Amino acid sequence: MKYEENCELLEKTQLKDDILRFKVKTDKIAKDSKPGNFLEIKVSDSEVPFLRRPISIFSIDGENVEFIFQVKGKGTEILSKQKVGDKINIIGPLGNGTFDIKSYNTVALIGGGIGVYPLYEAAKQLKGKAKINTYLGYRNKELVTVEKEFKEVSDKLVVATDDGSYGEKGFAIDFLKKDEKPDIIMACGPLPMLRAVKQFAQENNIKCQVSLEERMGCGIGACLGCAVKTAASSKDAPEYWQVCKGGPVFDASTVDF
């Protein structure tokens, strides 16, 4: 069930110059949220920007929900100026596709850039149910965030940067390929990374879930702005998923990247 609440901003942390972490108090959203759900956040009471901003849930803790976002445009810039104690209008939890939280021998979590954030709550809830190997990829040292949080919930953590300025040099998937075969891969990040993860999973017969980062204007399937092609599509008969309704987490085999 989804709710609309005016949530009090309890904590505001600047992780990087343009990346912020918010903790808000909710009466209803937190109790129904699952790993992989997202929020639609109202950023302005004026007509501009009109649309809410979709932001993935980072962490759920009792009556509190945390989310992390990067300032990329006018809407997120307005949101970044909220102060502790302010009320933020939020609709959530949204999304029907969520990460599969159950007992496994080994789970591989792989994230790229801001795509690392939707994986954290999954890692928290999988802890004790599986061995968790986490692979986080960033462009460079200046963009590395939440390493400490993932280290606390992972049995193995690899942080990689494209230029080698921090951690391992290379792409996160390079290190996933070198390790033990997991029972399931859970991934979120840029499309080239997800495409490579899907291919690796299929070649090795590994179950794989991906969280997609499309622009979800309404969050309820009305605007059709977040449609992606399904793997069953053909040139003559295209088929589409709506990320906000069918996902944002999908079985990788069902998506055409």
Residue 131: is its pLDDT beyond 90? yes
Residue 61: is its pLDDT beyond 70? yes
What is the mean predicted confidence (pLDDT) over 139-147? 97
Domain end, chosen from 43, 65, 94, is at 94
Residue range 105-120, pLDDT digits in tens: 999 999 999 999 999 9
Residue 22: is its pLDDT beyond 60? yes
Amino acid 188: pLDDT: 97
Sign (positive or negative) of CA dihedral 248, 252, 253, 255: positive
Residue 52: is its pLDDT beyond 90? no
**Same domain, yes or no, for 120 and 236?**
yes
Residue range 194-247, pLDDT digits in tens: 999 999 999 999 999 999 976 656 656 666 666 777 777 666 666 777 777 777
**Same domain, yes or no, for 55 and 148?**
no
User: Does a structural domain hold residue 166?
Assistant: yes
Could you give the CA distance from residue 242 to residue 254 in angstroms, rounded to a whole number? 12
160 vs 232: which has the higher pLDDT? 160
What CATH number does the domain containing 200 carry? 3.40.50.80
What is the mean predicted confidence (pLDDT) over 127-153? 97
Could you give the CA distance from residue 166 to residue 182 in angstroms, rounded to a whole number? 25
**Same domain, yes or no, for 77 and 131?**
no
Amino acid 234: pLDDT: 65
49 vs 130: which has the higher pLDDT? 130
Residue 50: is its pLDDT beyond 80? no
Could you give the CA distance from residue 189 to residue 107 in angstroms, rounded to a whole number? 17
pLDDT band (50, 70, 90) for residue 9: very high
Residue 51 domain boundaries: 3-94
User: Does a structural domain hold residue 28?
Assistant: yes
2 vs 9: which has the higher pLDDT? 9
Global confidence as pTM: 0.93
Could you give the CA distance from residue 172 to residue 40 in angstroms, rounded to a whole number? 29
The answer to whether the CB of 159 falls within 8 A of the CB of 167 is yes
**Same domain, yes or no, for 137 and 237?**
yes
Query: Which residues have CB under 8 Å from 216's CB, separation 6+?
Result: 38, 40, 54, 94, 225, 226, 243, 244, 248
Domain end, chosen from 94, 124, 142, is at 94
Amino acid 21: pLDDT: 98
Structure tokens at 49: 């920007």
**Same domain, yes or no, for 124 and 16?**
no
Amino acid 223: pLDDT: 65
